[in-house]
A = this chain, B = another copy of it.
C-alpha cells in the first residue's frame, strides 16, 4: 500500500485513466509538504519525464481538485496557485516574504465549518482558511537587518 494510493484511487473512482504522468504527479503530491504550484511540480518532474507538459500538470491538478482529492489553496503572494494534498479541515499559514506554506491544525476550523454549513444560506462545497504573516526564518532574517 503506497501513500499515493488514495489519490490514485480517486482517479480510478472518477473513471480517469492512470497515465504515467498522472501517477507521477500523485506521487509527488503526497511526498511533498511544500504545497506545490503547477510550475514547481512541472520543474521537479521534468527530470524523470522530460516531455511532461505544463498543460498536463494543470489538467491533472484540476481533475484531482474536481474529485476532491486535493485542495486548491488559491494564489500565494506571488500570484501563483498552490495545492494541498492534506484535505482534512485545517488552516494554512502563508509567509508573505518567502511564500512558504505550512499546515496548522486547530479544532476551531472544524467548529467554524460546522457553523457555516449549519447557519449559512449557501450550500458549501469547499473552504480556504488562510493566514498571512512572516515564518520563523523570515522573522530572524528581518531582525538581522
Contacts and interface: CB of A to CB of B under 8 A. Distances in A.
Interface string A40-77: 00000000000000000000000000000000001100
A96 B122 CA distance: 10
Contacts of A93: 116, 120, 122, 124
A106 B124 CA distance: 16
Nearest to A142: B123
A interface majority secondary structure: strand
Nearest to A128: B130
A116 to B, nearest CB: 5
Interface residues of A, number: 35
A135 B121 contact: yes
Contacts of A127: 130-132
Interface of A: 74-75, 91, 93, 95-96, 102, 104, 106, 108-109, 111-113, 115-116, 119-136, 139
